[in-house]
C-alpha cells in the first residue's frame, strides 16, 4: 500500500475528495458508487479454466449469490448485496454485478499526516496544521512542525514558495554531494540499470540484476547506506546528472505534490500503485513545470491544502 500527497485547491477539502473514495474500503454508499456489470469478465475467466467459485471470489461475490433479481436486497448500509451480487442458475453464471466507485483514488486520507508542515509560511502569516501520522511522530518524537512557520493549509499569498525552493535546493546539494562521495572514482564503464536490463542482458532479469549490483559504484552506494537517500534511490539518480541539474530539479519539485484536485478534477503525475510504484509517470521536470504554471495562475486568496492520501 502507498501514501502520496494531494494538493486540494479551494475550500471544502473533504467534499472535493469525496468523489474519489474507494468504496470497498470506505463503505460509504453514496452517489459515486455504481453498479458495474462484470458478467462478461467472469464468463471469460470461466472460459479460460477458472471455476465458477474462483471467478466469483475475485470480486468477493461467492457469498452473494441469488437465483433471481428479485432476491437482491435493496442497497443499504448493511444489506447483503451492498458490494454486488451474482445470479447463478443450475450452476451457470447468468449475471454478475460489482458495486464500486470506478474513479477511486484513495481508501483513507489524513490532513497533514506524513507530510505535516508541508508549507512554509511567510513571516507573520498564519495557516492551519493537521495531525501528524504515527510514522512522522516516530521519526520526530520530540517535535513536529512549528505552527508559527509551517502549515498544511494556507492561502496562496501566505506561503513562502521561494523559501521552500531554497530549502529543497540546499537539501539536494547535500544529498548529491554525499552520494557522489560514495561513487566517484568507481564509475568507469558504469552501466545504468535500464541499459543493463533492456540491452546488455535483455530477457534475463536475474543475470541483469547480478551484473548491475556487481559494479563497484553500485556496491559502494549500497555499502555506504543508500537507504539514507531513499529506499528506491540508486546510482542512476546521481549519475550522469550534474550537481546543478540535480539541484535545479529539486527546486522545481519543492512545491509539487503527486496529485492536484481542482474544480472537481483530479490531475496526477502518475497512477499510484501498491508499495509506492508509480505507473505512466510524467517526467518530474514536466510535472513540476505544469504544477508551477497552475499555481501561478491562481488568485492570491486561494486556499491550498496538502493531504496525505493512502491507497
Which pairs with CB-CB distance under 8 Å and at least 24 residues apart come from 235-241?
Answer: 235/179, 235/183, 235/190, 235/192, 236/192, 236/193, 236/194, 237/179, 238/176, 238/179, 238/180, 238/183, 239/180, 239/183, 239/187, 239/190
Res. 147 pLDDT band, cuts 50 70 90: confident
Q: Are residues 88 and 111 in the same domain?
A: no
Highest averaged pLDDT of the listed ranges 52-56, 230-234, 294-298:
52-56
Q: What is the mean pLDDT of residues 284-306?
A: 89
Same domain, 94 and 129: no
Q: Which residues contact 303 (CB under 8 A, 6 or more apart)?
A: 9, 10, 11, 153, 154, 155, 156
pLDDT for residue 275 = 47
Which three three-digit cell numbers place residue 110? 489524513
> Is 202 inside any structural domain?
no
> Within a domain: residue 159?
yes
More confident residue, 124 or 134: 124
Does 77 share its domain with 161?
no
Q: Work out the pLDDT band at 229, boundaries 50, 70, 90.
A: confident
Does residue 157 surpass a pLDDT of 90?
A: yes
- Give which of 210, 213, 217 is closest to 179, Cα–Cα: 217
Q: Which pLDDT does position 273 carry in this prediction? A: 55
Tell me, yes or no, whether 128 and 262 share the same domain. Answer: yes
148 and 56 inside one domain: no
At residue 278 the predicted structure's pLDDT band, cuts being 50, 70 and 90, is low
In Å, what is the CA distance from 43 to each residue of 40, 146, 161, 244? 5, 57, 54, 56
DSSP code at position 68: S
Residue 232 resides in a domain: no
Residue 225 has pLDDT above 50, yes or no: yes
* Residue 227 reports pLDDT greater than 80: no
Same domain, 46 and 143: no
Domain identity same for 178 and 262: yes
Which range among 32-36, 83-87, 260-264, 289-293 shows the weakest confidence by mean pLDDT? 289-293
Note whether 252 and 181 are same-domain residues: yes
Q: How many C-beta atoms lie closer than 10 Å to residue 164's C-beta?
A: 16
pLDDT of residue 135: 72
Residue 4: its H or E element: strand 3-9
Write down the pLDDT at residue 252: 86
Instruction: Give the range of the structural domain holding residue 297, as residue numbers without chain letter.
Output: 3-13+106-187+239-310
* pLDDT tens-digit map of 58-117: 999 999 999 998 999 887 657 889 999 999 999 999 999 999 999 999 999 999 999 999
Number of structural domains found in the chain: 2
Residues 44 and 174 in one domain: no
Note whether 65 and 114 are same-domain residues.
no
The answer to whether residue 198 sits within a structural domain is no
- Tell me, yes or no, whether 245 and 295 share the same domain: yes
If you average pLDDT over every residue of the chain, what do you get?
90
The percentage of residues in the chain with a pLDDT greater than 90, rounded to a whole number, is 75
The per-residue b/e assignment along 299-309, b for 16 or more CB within 10 angstroms, e otherwise, is eeeebbbbbbb
Between residues 142 and 42, the one the model is more confident about: 42
Spatial distance between the Cα atoms of 158 and 300, rounded to a whole number of angstroms = 8
Between strands 150-151 and 119-120, the pairing is: antiparallel
Q: Choose the final residue of a domain: 69, 100, 131.
A: 100
Which residues, 6+ apart, have CB-to-CB distance to 156 below 8 Å?
Answer: 295, 298, 299, 300, 301, 302, 303, 304
Domain end residue (candidates: 83, 100, 117): 100
Residue 95 covered by a domain: yes
Residue 284 burial (CB count, 10 A): 14
Average pLDDT over residues 303-308: 97
pLDDT at 253 over 60: yes
Q: Of the residues 76, 100, 124, which one is the last residue of a structural domain?
A: 100
pTM for this structure?
0.81
Count of alpha carbons within 13 Å of 30, Cβ hemisphere only? 14
**Same domain? 144 vs 243:** yes
Amino acid at each position: 500500500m502507498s501514501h502520496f500527497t494531494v494538493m486540494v485547491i479551494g475550500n471544502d477539502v473533504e467534499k472535493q475528495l469525496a468523489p474519489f473514495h474507494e468504496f470497498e474500503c470506505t463503505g460509504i454508499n453514496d452517489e459515486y458508487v455504481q453498479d458495474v456489470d462484470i458478467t462478461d469478465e467472469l464468463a471469460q475467466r470461466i472460459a479460460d479454466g477458472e471455476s465458477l467459485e474462483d471467478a466469483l471470489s475475485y470480486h468477493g461475490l461467492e457469498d452473494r449469490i441469488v437465483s433471481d433479481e428479485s432476491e437482491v436486497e435493496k442497497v443499504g448500509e448493511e444489506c447483503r448485496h451492498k458490494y454486488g451480487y451474482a445470479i447463478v442458475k443450475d450452476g451457470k453464471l447468468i449475471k454478475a454485478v460489482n458495486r464500486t466507485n470506478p474513479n477511486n483514488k484513495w481508501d483513507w486520507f489524513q490532513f497533514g499526516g506524513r507530510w505535516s508542515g508541508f508549507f512554509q509560511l511567510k513571516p507573520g502569516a498564519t495557516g492551519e496544521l493537521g495531525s501528524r501520522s504515527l510514522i512522522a511522530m516516530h521519526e520526530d518524537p520530540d517535535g513536529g512542525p512549528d505552527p508559527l512557520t509551517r502549515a498544511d493549509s494556507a492561502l496562496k499569498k501566505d506561503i513562502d514558495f521561494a523559501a521552500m525552493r531554497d530549502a529543497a535546493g540546499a537539501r539536494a546539494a547535500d544529498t548529491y554531494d554525499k552520494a557522489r562521495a560514495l561513487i566517484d572514482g568507481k564509475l568507469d564503464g558504469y552501466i545504468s540499470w535500464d541499459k543493463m536490463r533492456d540491452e546488455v542482458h535483455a530477457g534475463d532479469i536475474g543475470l541483469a540484476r547480478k551484473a548491475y549490483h556487481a559494479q563497484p559504484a553500485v556496491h559502494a552506494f549500497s555499502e555506504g547506506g543508500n537507504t539514507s537517500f531513499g529506499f528506491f534511490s540508486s546510482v542512476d539518480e546521481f549519475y550522469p546528472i550534474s550537481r546543478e541539474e540535480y539541484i535545479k530539479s529539486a527546486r522545481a519539485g519543492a512545491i509539487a505534490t503527486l496529485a492536484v484536485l481542482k474544480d472537481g478534477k483530479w490531475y496526477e503525475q502518475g497512477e499510484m500503485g501498491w508499495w509506492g510504484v508509480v505507473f505512466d509517470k510524467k517526467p518530474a521536470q514536466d510535472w513540476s513545470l505544469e504544477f508551477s504554471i497552475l499555481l501561478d495562475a491562481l488568485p492570491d486568496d486561494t486556499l491550498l491544502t496538502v493531504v496525505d492520501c493512502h491507497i
